[in-house]
Amino acid sequence: MSASAHGGGADEGPRDFVKYTFYQLRPEWRRLPADERARGRTALTSVLEHPPAGLELRTYSLVGLKADADFLLWSIARELEPITLLHAKVSGSPLGGYLDVHHAYLGMGRVSEYVGPAAVRGEGSSGRRSSRGRPYLFVYPFTKKREWYGLPFEERRRIMSEHLRIGHRYHEVDIHTGYSFGLDDAEFILAFEAEGPGEFLDLVHDLRPSEASRYTELETPIFTCVLTPPARMLELAEGLA
């Protein structure tokens, strides 16, 4: 499905970890006194607005968009420690005791063997990852069929060339690939930043007939996320329209 779900290169310099953690707020929180809830939101907002050093954080609302997730924390860091510290602070906040994590995905940046460092611009040319800040983010785990890895490299590169050409038609969709081999359950965690849902829907539609899509094993669950400042994100999760 993705225009960038492919392999990686060897020694490539600095690489980033990416973590996508989806939280759901328990109904019990909404039944607490309003002043207690306000203090809890303020405390967690402070945590999210002041993330640990070395960590890039984006916050997204999924209220009304997914049954078991109210918001997403997207973390990017060179080391795992800042990611661990952030989530410990979230759990330790007054509101943290009322949050459940139903989905969480870990990946790492890597240079694509189908694109390589020679491709100066675009995802796949570096092991570094960074958010573009577009208003919509679409996230899902991805795993290829084992038959894919039995194909000769030149055959895989030919197939991916078509896949990448389709993806490159959508200039306002930014692709972020996290490689999860040995780190998490799926092989990849994929994220797409876009200006609107329609652009991503059309991209996925156009990728469906591609030869590469025949080798897809897993590409669910899929999350549609809306970039939202921390304070407003928590208000929406609580039901404060």
At 112-147, the pLDDT tens digits run 888 755 443 445 656 778 788 899 999 999 999 999
Residues 6+ apart with CB under 8 A from 136: 193, 194, 195, 196, 197, 200, 224, 225, 226, 227
Mean pLDDT score of the chain, rounded to an integer?
91
The tens digit of pLDDT for each residue in 63-117 reads 999 999 999 999 999 999 999 999 999 999 999 999 999 999 999 999 888 875 5
Structure letter (DSSP) for residue 210: S
In a domain, 12, yes or no: no
Q: Token pair for residue 43?
A: 């405390």
Q: What is the pLDDT of residue 4?
A: 42
Q: What is the pLDDT of residue 64?
A: 97
Report the CATH number at residue 121: 3.30.70.1030
Task: Provide the domain count of the chain.
Answer: 1
In a domain, 9, yes or no: no
CA distances (Å), origin 118, targets 81, 175, 231? 31, 18, 41
In a domain, 41, yes or no: yes
In a domain, 109, yes or no: yes
Residues 6+ apart with CB under 8 A from 11: none
The tens digit of pLDDT for each residue in 183-226 reads 999 999 999 999 999 999 999 999 999 999 999 999 999 999 99
In a domain, 205, yes or no: yes
- In angstroms, what is the C-alpha Rg of the chain? 19
In a domain, 86, yes or no: yes
Q: What is the pLDDT of residue 116?
A: 55
The single residue of 20, 105, 114, 140 carrying the catalytic annotation is 140
In a domain, 131, yes or no: yes
The tens digit of pLDDT for each residue in 11-54 reads 567 899 999 999 999 999 999 999 999 999 999 999 999 999 99
Q: Among this protein's residues, is 98 annotated catalytic?
A: no
Q: Of 85, 125, 83, nearest to 105 (Cα)?
A: 83
Structural domain of 26: 17-238
In a domain, 63, yes or no: yes
